[in-house]
Amino acid sequence: MPDWILPTQQGRTVGVLLFEQFSNHCLANAIEPLRAANGLLGDAVYRWEVLTLDGAPVTSSSGFDVAPSGRLAEATGDALVLLPSYGARRLATPACSRALRAAAQRFTTLVGLDMGSWLLAEAGLLDGHAATIHFDEFEAFAERFPEVEARRSRWVRDRDVWTAGGAMTSYELVVDYLSRSHGTALSLEIASLFMHSDADAPVIDVPSQRDRIVARALAEMEANIEEPLPIGTLARFVGCTQRQLEVRFERALGATPRAVYRRLRLNVARRLLVEARLGVAEIALRSGYSDASAFARAFRREHGRAPRDYRR
């Protein structure tokens, strides 16, 4: 096992609850990072089984038939992932709500992906929690469930309930969890394996050895995208000089802190261009650029196209 990987915890079991017309894209983005993590960690840390409410097969929105391992009522584990996709309101029956409330006693964490938040909220399992949902349904969700703290976020982790609004955000939620559990380096390696979209895979190597200062610096960068920290300030936050931080980044990642930070910010911009209904000037601000022209130049250098061309 590579020595940069943090020690793993006990194996974790994930139940994936599918409904008719579920999204294959969303399912793959939730499970494939766990499969990749097992390979990188050198152990079956994550195990999953496909479930349905009644144990019957279901068909995805793209026509793929899936035979489950069993019924929800017979399953237990560390996390239950709900994947209803289209027609979630029709699925939110009293029987479904009762089954989910019972399952909440057997699973440690509940995860609503795509429209899964709607089913959890209908069952009363999001009361007092912050949650998100697919942005097309956000207003209706907030109005229907006032006892839920609806957040227009890509994904939300609030205690034992996690929610994400779509396929790409499901990937981000799972990889964030893996990063927090096993270290940032693992999430970088997973992004590299999947070449996340056409630009998310880092142009850097995974650390050849564990470096907690680099990991803390990466976490601070990710937490300060809209208002980037000067590299000197970042170095002080993680307990070293700017020169020491630069040496550590070059040794661990093969790039300067400034280059890595810029890549993180422009990857955020790329995702917003593809998935958010925001103007280029607003995306520039959210990526830490007060000057839209400077943002456009940086984006073109990084991704080979102007922001507007990339969106088209």
The last residue of a domain, from among 159, 174, 189: 174
For CA atoms 103, 109, 112, 118, the dihedral sign is: positive
Q: Return the amino acid letter for 220.
A: E
- Whether the pLDDT of residue 1 is over 60: the answer is no
Calpha distance 304→89 (Å, rounded)? 42
208 lies in the same domain as 159: no
Is the confidence at residue 302, as pLDDT, over 90?
no
User: 134: phi > 0 → left, psi -120 to 50 → alpha, else beta; which?
Assistant: beta
Whether residues 204 and 133 share a domain: the answer is no
Between 11-15, 52-56, 95-99, 186-190, the lowest mean confidence (pLDDT) is in: 186-190
Residue 263: count of CB within 10 angstroms of its CB: 18
Q: How many domains does the chain have?
A: 2
Which residues, 6 or more positions from 255, have their beta carbon under 8 angstroms from its beta carbon?
A: 203, 204, 249, 263
pLDDT of residue 301: 87
Nearest to 156 by CA among 183, 185, 134, 137: 134
Q: Give the closest residue to 45 by CA, choosing from 12, 77, 78, 2.
A: 12
d(CA 188, CA 185) in angstroms, rounded, equals: 5
Q: Which of 113, 142, 174 is a domain's end point?
A: 174
In a domain, 180, yes or no: no
What's the CATH code of the domain at 232? 1.10.10.60
Residue pair 97/41 in contact by the 8 Å Cβ criterion: no
Q: How far apart are CA 224 and CA 209, in angstroms?
A: 25
Alpha-carbon distance 269 to 25, whole Å?
Answer: 22
pLDDT classification of 204: cutoffs 50, 70, 90: very low
CATH number (domain holding residue 91): 3.40.50.880
**Domain assignment present for 187:** no
Task: For 109-134, give one letter per residue: b (16+ CB within 10 A) or e.
Answer: bbbbbbbbbbbbbbbebbeebbbbbb
Query: Residue 184's pLDDT band (boundaries 50, 70, 90)?
Result: low
In a domain, 49, yes or no: yes
Q: Is the domain of 47 the same as that of 132?
A: yes
More confident residue, 300 or 196: 300
Its pTM stands at 0.63
Domain that residue 212 falls in? 197-312
What tens digit of pLDDT does each residue of 212-264 get?
A: 888 888 888 888 999 999 999 999 999 999 999 999 988 877 788 998 898 88
Distances (CA, A) of 138 to 22, 67, 121, 149, 268: 19, 31, 13, 11, 21
DSSP-assigned letters across all residues of 128-155: TSEE---GGGHHHHHHH-TTSEE--SSE
Q: What is the mean pLDDT of the chain?
A: 86
Give the whole-angstrom CA distance, residue 271 versus residue 311: 10
Say if residue 203 is in the same domain as residue 89. no
What is d(CA 196, CA 185) in angstroms, rounded to the nearest whole number? Answer: 15
Evaluate if residue 117 carries a pLDDT over 70.
yes
CB atoms within 10 A of CB 56: 10
Residue 8, pLDDT score: 40
- Is 294 within a domain? yes
Are 165 and 259 found together in one domain? no
Same domain membership, residue 153 and residue 208: no
Question: Count of residues for the chain?
Answer: 312
Within-domain flag for 186: no
In terms of domains, do 98 and 217 share one?
no
* 204 and 312, same domain (yes or no): yes
Q: Is residue 45 part of a domain?
A: yes
Residue 18 in any domain: the answer is yes
Instruction: Tell whether 4 is covered by a domain.
Output: no
pLDDT score recorded for residue 164: 94
Contact by Cβ (8 Å): 177, 156: no
Assess contact for 220 and 228: CB atoms under 8 A: no
> Are 107 and 246 members of one domain?
no
Domain endpoint, select from 174, 207, 236:
174
111 and 26 belong to one structural domain? yes
The confidence score (pLDDT) of residue 311 equals 82
Buried b / exposed e across 72-92, counting CB within 10 Å, b at 16+?
beebebebbbbbbbeebeebb
Same domain, yes or no, for 204 and 96? no
Residues 148 and 218 in one domain: no
18, 66 contact by CB (below 8 A): yes
Name every residue whose Cβ is closer than 8 Å to that of residue 59 and which is 6 or more positions away in sequence: 20, 21, 65, 66
